[in-house]
Amino acid sequence: MGYEVHDGVCIDIDECNQTSPCDSTSSNCINMNGTYECVCKDGYQKDKSTGICLACQDGMYGKNCSKLCQCSPAMCNKTTGCQSPCENSGFTGADCDENVNECQINGICGAANCNDTHGSYYCYCPQWFQLMGSNTNIKCSVIDACQYNVTDGGTQLVNGTCVNNGVCKNGTNLAAPGTFACECAPGFDGKFCEHDIDECLSNNCDLKTQHCVDQINGFYCACNPGVSGPGCNFFGTVVFYLVVIFHLIVTSLYFLGTVFTSRCR
């Protein structure tokens, strides 16, 4: 127990990493050769019969509860000792009515900006950055403009949703954070790929017999009314009947002319 065989050699098992045998609230696990030990945190002491780390009795504090508070038990912090009645309240003074400017505490917001408020404070980042981390390890990271809403001239723009199958590309230039660009699918343009490109503006249709019909990333030439056939070179049924009528008239005139000539003879 406490060891494992590896390539014929006994290797110590780090029980602290494998099983977390100690109560993390009251103790720290210390790995030892072939075993481990639960060492009580400040404000706790080990019970001799059970080996469990128990909180200090009232009025005692520190490592193994070895120190006596020189104040009333109600004001005794079991970890650090006597504390001010205003502690952690955001105020100070005899009546706890004076605001504490927490922003004057070095590094309280890490790499972010600090804003003091009445009885408290908050950390914030410049525009286009977001808070990351916690405690004094706070930092400001540039936002992914494809995942967050940004404003452009006071109007909120919803990014990450480039329309018409466009793909959002996050800007990487830290000199201009919050930037993004939509990579548009063929046939579209615009900041959000919202504009369908009108290919009819540069078409090759014969406007005498055809008109252009715009499509996504393309166009086709449709025949004008009364025109049909390949290349729109057949002038439909109206022209057809006009040709037939004309042919009948010519034929009739020819027949009448023949009859009239015969009678005159």
At 4-24, the pLDDT tens digits run 777 778 888 888 887 778 988
CA 242 to chain centre: 68
Residue 257 inside a domain? The answer is: no
136 shares a domain with 97: yes
131 shares a domain with 171: no
Residue 137 inside a domain? The answer is: yes
Range of the domain at 96: 84-142
175 shares a domain with 138: no
At 79-111, the pLDDT tens digits run 988 877 777 778 777 667 788 899 998 888 888
- Residue pointed to by tokens 């004008």: 224
Residue 122 inside a domain? The answer is: yes
171 shares a domain with 122: no
Residue 159 inside a domain? The answer is: yes
Residue 225 inside a domain? The answer is: no
148 shares a domain with 125: no
- In b/e form, how buried is each residue of 106-119, taking b as 16+ CB within 10 angstroms? eeebbbbebeeeee
Question: Does residue 186 register a pLDDT over 90?
Answer: yes
Strands (DSSP E) found in 21-133: 27-32, 35-40, 44-46, 53-55, 60-61, 67-68, 76-77, 81-82, 91-92, 98-99, 113-117, 120-124, 129-132
pLDDT value for 94 = 62
Last residue of a domain, one of 115, 142, 169: 142
> Which has the higher per-residue pLDDT, 238 or 143?
143
Residue 5 inside a domain? The answer is: no
Question: Does residue 212 register a pLDDT over 60?
Answer: yes
Percent of the chain with pLDDT over 90: 20
CB 53 within 8 A of CB 46: yes
Output the pTM of the full model.
0.39
pLDDT value for 53 = 94
- Residue 164's domain is classified under what CATH number? 2.10.25.10
CB 101 within 8 A of CB 109: no
95 shares a domain with 109: yes
Residue 71 inside a domain? The answer is: no
Number of separate domains in the chain: 2
Residue 88 inside a domain? The answer is: yes
> Which has the higher per-residue pLDDT, 218 or 90?
218
